Amino acid sequence: MARESESGLPVEAVYGPDQLKDFSPAEKLGEPGEYPFTRGIYPTMYTARPWTMRQYAGFSTAADSNRRYHQLIEAGSTGLSVAFDLPTQMGYDSDSPVAHGEVGRVGVAIDSIDDMRTLLQDLPLDKVSTSMTINAPAAVLLLLYQLVAQEQGISPGSLNGTIQNDILKEYIARGTYIYPPQQSLRLAADTFAYCRTEMPRWNTISISGYHMAEAGATPVQEIAFTLSNAKEYVRAALGSGLAVDEFAPRLSFFFVARSTLLEEVAKFRAARRIWAQIMRDEFGALDPKSQMLRFHTQTAGVQLTAQQPEVNMVRVTIQALAAVLGGTQSLHTNSFDEAIGLPSQKAATLALRTQQVIAYESDLTATADPFAGSYAVESMTDDVETAARQLIDQVEEIGGAVAAIERGFQKDEIERSAYQVARQVESGERVVVGVNKFQADQEEPQQPLRVDVAIEKEQAALLAQLRSERNAADHKQRLDDLKQAAQGTQNVLVPLREALRARATVGEICDALREVWGVYQPPDVH
């Protein structure tokens, strides 16, 4: 019986030399750390040191999240990853009417520099790498991070981390956009330019396929649409006057790792190869660092099940192996109870321990790129690369990622794939253990972590205190400066930073930009 991969590509029962008749090791493989980086972006990969173990966390108040970060560092986490609540992601303060019921629910509530101080209290910001999953207001949260670090005596030039800052995928798959695409691209490009001089070690964007995959994108769609978005960001930065090798080394990516291990490894290898060629041949990047696709991976949240949640530990382990064998630079492993609620401390620690066992008890870190030359993986890599390039070409024919977004092309393609998977699960053609096969008659009830509803009132009280204490005239002047910059061509991050220093809130900053730039309305909303 013929099998297909997640991307609908044929999977052979046996692979051999015949599948690699067009395969040129010198051209497509090379050595680790060399163009086209199929085998990894560093010569030694994990033989010198393992990937960054970064656990995604954030909930309730800044104080609650700060305690969790200290626990993770004590457990051996080598990188922090901040989850923000929905109001923060959408640029609203916790006391905004639209924030009601969502404060602190899916991440931490950050309304002002006061909250950021609490969030980062006593954390070694000059030693730890911090990732912030924030998009439309990414520049706002980045500048709050910089200001607090400076208060702690840490130079911005020594800060190391990543902001997601990938607004294009929000229009495609996730929906936490604020401004129209062109203004959002301007804000991203301004962030590139600002960090080049102010925070040179900071990764200014994490171009994300993860959320598209969670929405139903196949592995081919995930890398094709992600790299198409990346090309749009490169064009925006070039259009703002930056040279490609000035900003491209700080671009990074964010992908999912599914349970289909072989195709996932092939996907990561193909993505590196495609991106290297795009940057060298299309954009003329000469610096090898500009040609490297550096990426963070998260195990597949959409594949976690509420039924028999302990089985998720097995899924996460397989997915983590796929990421490591694929050459990821950092990794978050999901907690087994996340399909039920926010992860408990015990589950979060166990997820981190999963990475530590792979890194320190297996032999996967003994050699770079252990799958190199595998008939199956090399053939799958070629197949994924070919299909992804075809899809990238389709996006280019439409006019690029933004034009395709405005037409709804990526969204339609992803929804079609998601529908097909749902039908397969419903029919039993696709087995999900514990859901449509191997069910348990009785399961022990799980006690998820709950967020106290009182935090909404606590955050509102803190905001009221902040507004009563700050210098009202200075605050107003700084917001006016920001709006004036947004109307012109000046880099908006400098006046934005000064408004935050004057204790403007996240919501006030975003409202000022909404006033100038407007709010995006998708094509199907009238």
Q: What are phi and psi of 214, to 5 degrees?
A: -65, -30
Angle at 386 between CA 384 and CA 387, to 5 degrees: 65
- The span from the CA of 9 to the CA of 7, in Å, is 6
Chain centre distance of CA 230: 13
Q: In this predicted structure, what is the pLDDT of residue 332?
A: 95
- The span from the CA of 322 to the CA of 264, in Å, is 6
- The span from the CA of 417 to the CA of 216, in Å, is 6
Q: What are phi and psi of 257, to 5 degrees?
A: -125, 115
Q: In this predicted structure, what is the pLDDT of residue 60?
A: 87
Q: In this predicted structure, what is the pLDDT of residue 77?
A: 87
Residues 87, 103: contact at Cβ < 8 Å?
yes
3-state secondary structure 122-133: CCCCCCCEEEEE
Q: Encoding tokens for residue 47?
A: 């033989």
What's the pLDDT tens digit per position in 231-279? 999 999 999 999 999 999 999 999 999 999 999 999 999 999 999 999 9
pTM above 0.85, yes or no: yes
Q: In this predicted structure, what is the pLDDT of residue 452?
A: 75
Residues 327, 272: contact at Cβ < 8 Å?
yes
Beta bridge partners of 23: none
Q: Residue type at 363?
A: D
Angle between helices 493-501 and 472-487 (to 10 degrees): 170
Residues 29, 38: contact at Cβ < 8 Å?
yes
Q: In this predicted structure, what is the pLDDT of residue 275?
A: 98
Tell which residue, 225, 243, 280, has the closest CA to residue 390.
Answer: 225
Q: In this predicted structure, what is the pLDDT of residue 24?
A: 65
- Domains in the chain, ordered, with CATH? 43-427 (3.20.20.240), 455-517 (no CATH)
Name the H helices within 199-282: 210-214, 219-239, 244-247, 261-277
- The span from the CA of 230 to the CA of 185, in Å, is 11
DSSP summary character for residue 160: -
pLDDT by 10s per residue, the chain, length 526: 578 999 999 999 999 988 776 666 666 788 999 999 999 999 999 999 999 998 888 888 999 999 999 999 999 988 888 999 999 999 999 999 999 999 999 899 999 999 999 999 999 999 989 999 999 999 999 999 999 999 999 999 999 999 999 999 999 998 999 999 999 999 999 999 999 999 999 999 999 999 999 999 999 999 999 999 999 999 999 999 999 999 999 999 999 999 999 999 999 999 999 999 999 999 999 999 999 999 999 999 999 999 999 999 999 999 999 999 999 999 999 999 999 887 888 999 999 999 999 999 999 999 999 999 999 999 999 999 999 999 999 999 999 999 999 999 999 999 999 999 999 999 999 999 999 999 988 776 666 666 777 899 999 999 999 999 999 999 999 999 999 999 999 999 999 999 999 999 999 999 999 999 999 988 764 3
Q: In this predicted structure, what is the pLDDT of residue 525?
A: 41
